A and B are shown apart, each in its own frame.
Chain A
Amino acid sequence: GENVEQHPSTLSVQEGDSAVIKCTYSDSASNYFPWYKQELGKRPQLIIDIRSNVGEKKDQRIAVTLNKTAKHFSLHITETQPEDSAVYFCAASIRRDLGNQFYFGTGTSLTVIP
């Protein structure tokens, strides 16, 4: 089955700096890669996603890149702010039958130091 690895497990950055979180996946059939942000005590929420036919996607301070050949994708947050502090999960989705099965990374705890 699919295996998603996520690094680093913890990340501390100064406010205003950039943060990068990297994930690798094993199954070339994965075709959808969402990123979720989970604040303390709250549910995971989708912040950005990318499909396998796209190499990069940006949304304001957040960007995701995908390298299908190397089977890795990354989340980039620029100009970090204290409210970016949270746990971030990457996921890879494989289409099975009529639906998708999601495989999640183990999460990155991001701390933005004011």
Chain B
Amino acid sequence: KAGVTQTPRYLIKTRGQQVTLSCSPISGHRSVSWYQQTPGQGLQFLFEYFSETQRNKGNFPGRFSGRQFSNSRSEMNVSTLELGDSALYLCASSSGGGTASYNEQFFGPGTRLTVL
């Protein structure tokens, strides 16, 4: 199976702009989670989508939003970019459904966002 893919891999934006990141999960996986990774802060959970519905949400401002399409591909949007939004954005896919309590997450390579 092909792994999780993310596009673009690198982005440079300026403050106030908006950005859209894309994540394609492993075929058959219906859950996509997004994380922000910064030095010293580890992986901060943004949100999770399952079957086109946001199922869980972390503690990020409303400038961070996302969506999931019927083919399970997901996009994350950040509006009104701030310098502090510079980070590696990782998505992770899992089967995510049913009554299983343990769903392994597989990470994509990430999108490195730099805000100037």
| B40→A106 contact, CB < 8 A | yes
Whether A32 touches B101, Cβ cut-off 8 Å, given contacts A44-B107, A98-B55, is yes
| A102→B55 contact, CB < 8 A | no
For the residues of A in contact with B, the DSSP-based class is strand
In B100-116, the 8 Å CB interface with A consists of 101-110
- B75 proximal to A (CB < 8 A): no
Whether A43 touches B107, Cβ cut-off 8 Å, given contacts A99-B48, A101-B45, is yes
The interface size of chain A toward B, counting residues with CB under 8 Å, comes to: 29
Write the B33-76 contact mask toward A (1 if CB under 8 angstroms, else 0): 10100001111110010100001100100000000000000000
Whether A99 touches B103, Cβ cut-off 8 Å, given contacts A43-B90, A43-B108, A43-B109, is yes
**A1-B44 Cα distance, complex, nearest whole Å:** 13
| A32→B102 contact, CB < 8 A | yes
| Interface residues in chain A, defined as those with a beta carbon under 8 Å from any beta carbon in chain B | 1, 6, 31-32, 34, 36, 42-46, 49, 51, 89, 91, 93, 95-107
| Interface residues in chain B, defined as those with a beta carbon under 8 Å from any beta carbon in chain A | 4, 31, 33, 35, 40-45, 48, 50, 55-56, 59, 90, 94, 96-99, 101-110
Give 6 CB contacts A-B under 8 Å: A32-B101, A46-B105, A49-B102, A89-B43, A93-B102, A99-B55
